[in-house]
A and B are shown apart, each in its own frame.
Chain A
Amino acid sequence: MEEKKFEPKIAAFVCNWCTYTGADLAGTSRLKYAPNIKMIRVPCTGRIDPVFIIKAFEKGADGVLISGCHPNDCHYNTGNFHARRRWILFKELLSFMGIDSTRLHFSWVSASEGKKFVDVVTEVVEKVREQGRFEKYAKINEEFVIHE
């Protein structure tokens, strides 16, 4: 019997105006992409607090994808610029703490880039699949018991 392939769980935080709409376009264009992505729609990439990413790992994500409008295309003009600066710092911090760029992915996908969305998702899923389950964080999560 063929061994079952590991299916990673990936949380995707996507901005409402570009990537979410881009994903929608991928859907209406009948393009196929991996079902491992769980999309969470936020108003803007600037809305993504790093605590969301940590929460995603706490809830069992093996990887996180963050995606929004291309620079200069932000619906709120500057949201993605602010976000980009934060990511530079946050990615460095997470890497220093043992969650490196194999599990944390960033992309710009506009509303018209349904195809790019599919490519990004495929690539991210493959990369995280290679890494396997995020055992270390999963272990911490499993040890965590809320005492009634």
Chain B
Amino acid sequence: MNELREKAKELLQNGTVKVIIGYVEGTTPNRTKPFIARSVEDADKLVFNKFCVNNLAVYLTRKEFKQNGVVGIVAKGCDVKAIVQLIQENQVNKDDVYIIGMNCSGVVSDLGEEFNENTVAVKCLHCTVHTPHLHHTLLGTLEETPKHEDKNFALMQKIDSMTAEERFDFWEAEFEKCVKCYACRQACPMCYCEKCIADKSVPRWIESSAHKRGNFAWNMIRAFHLAGRCVGCNECERACPAEIPLSLLNRKMGMTAKKEFDYVAGMNLNTPTLVGTYDVNDREDFIK
């Protein structure tokens, strides 16, 4: 933690960055919260531990940050994936971000008290970027990631084995809980549209009331807009007050992108985005 503070101080002092987005201690020992360090004194408050679960890349696309010139960001591997994806999509200028990469062997989910095989977040189970693949400085040390059974994947397989009607019923029951708070959208680093399709009223594509009809449309469209873009940080699911398993949809899309196009979001700065391009040899056996 000291090396993080030292590095942050150094960067702020010599003017490499104007602000640093990082984590500070939360209200209880097992929480952290996002924090913007603007001065050397602020840098002393920064922490990094197993409870740093937020994806801070979500702030990079905010207007108020873009005026800051170079922004420093404390980022785990999964956050770096989001940053890479944002750079690929021309939402963040590569030279305007300074990544303080953190070696991360997993984070705690569901406000667990300590880091062990029961509390490690699902997203960490299949993580391929414990060491961030893009960084300007690399801090921290790696240890072994505890593993538990991937219930999320088991549920997905269960849904896959259902009939279409059963799948529809499953999602109908899930979406009935949606209150249209749009927390999923706000927490998502990839949801940066200045005007979301859900906010458009002429024409009203997505019903705004928290009724199943609009909920279906909203969640379907959000999942599709994230197809081939979602980096799997699972912030949407974590932010969801109704506990809808949103990550299943995103993971399904991610797996489809991998299977059909051998594409993984946020891994390579120099490849074009998945749906921003095409291949004349794309599969078309489903087209009559």
Which A positions have Cβ atoms within 8 angstroms of B? 50-51, 54-55, 58, 71-72, 78, 81-82, 84-102, 105-108, 120, 123, 136, 140-141, 143-144
Give the interface SS of chain A, mostly helix, strand, loop or mixed: helix
CB of B256 within 8 A of CB of A120, answer no
CB of A71 within 8 A of CB of B280, answer yes
CA distance A23 to B202 in the complex (A): 31
CB of B288 within 8 A of CB of A107, answer yes
Binds A, one of B89-97, B118-126, B162-170: B162-170
Closest 6 CB pairs of A and B: A98-B168, A98-B167, A107-B288, A81-B278, A100-B164, A106-B287
Find A98's partner among B171, B261, B282 (CB 8 Å cutoff).
B171
CB of B275 within 8 A of CB of A85, answer yes
Binary flags per residue of B213-237, CB closer than 8 Å to A gives 1, else 0? 1001100110110011000000000
B58 to chain A, nearest CB (A): 23
Residues of A within 8 A of B160 (CB): 96
Residues of B within 8 A of A58 (CB): 213, 217
CA distance A93 to B169 in the complex (A): 15
**With A50-B224, A58-B217, A108-B288 already in contact, 14 other A-B pairs whose C-beta atoms are closer than 8 Å:** A50-B221, A71-B284, A78-B278, A84-B278, A86-B275, A87-B287, A89-B257, A90-B227, A92-B253, A94-B220, A98-B165, A99-B164, A102-B164, A136-B165
Most buried by A among B160, B166, B252, B287: B287
Residues of A within 8 A of B217 (CB): 51, 54-55, 58
**CB within 8 Å for A143 and B211 given contacts A90-B224, A92-B253, A92-B256:** yes
* Residue B143 is within 8 A (CB to CB) of chain A in the complex: no
* Residue B159 is within 8 A (CB to CB) of chain A in the complex: yes
Residues of A within 8 A of B287 (CB): 84, 87, 106-108
* CB closest chain-B residue, reference A78: B278
**CB within 8 Å for A51 and B282 given contacts A88-B256, A92-B253, A98-B170:** no
CB of A93 within 8 A of CB of B249, answer yes
* Residue B136 is within 8 A (CB to CB) of chain A in the complex: no
CA distance A101 to B167 in the complex (A): 14
CB of A85 within 8 A of CB of B253, answer no
* Residue B142 is within 8 A (CB to CB) of chain A in the complex: no
Question: 8 Å CB contacts to A: which residues of B229-283?
Answer: 249, 252-253, 256-257, 260-261, 274-275, 277-280, 282-283
* CB closest chain-A residue, reference B167: A98
Which B positions have Cβ atoms within 8 angstroms of A? 159-160, 164-172, 197, 205-207, 211-213, 216-217, 220-221, 223-224, 227-228, 249, 252-253, 256-257, 260-261, 274-275, 277-280, 282-284, 286-288
B281 to chain A, nearest CB (A): 10
CB of B284 within 8 A of CB of A84, answer yes
CB of A54 within 8 A of CB of B278, answer no
* CB closest chain-A residue, reference B248: A96
CA distance A90 to B260 in the complex (A): 12
B42 to chain A, nearest CB (A): 42
Residues of A within 8 A of B168 (CB): 97-99, 136
Residues of B within 8 A of A123 (CB): 288
CB of B164 within 8 A of CB of A98, answer yes
CB of B221 within 8 A of CB of A143, answer no
Most buried by A among B170, B274, B282: B282
A26 to chain B, nearest CB (A): 15
CB of B170 within 8 A of CB of A93, answer no
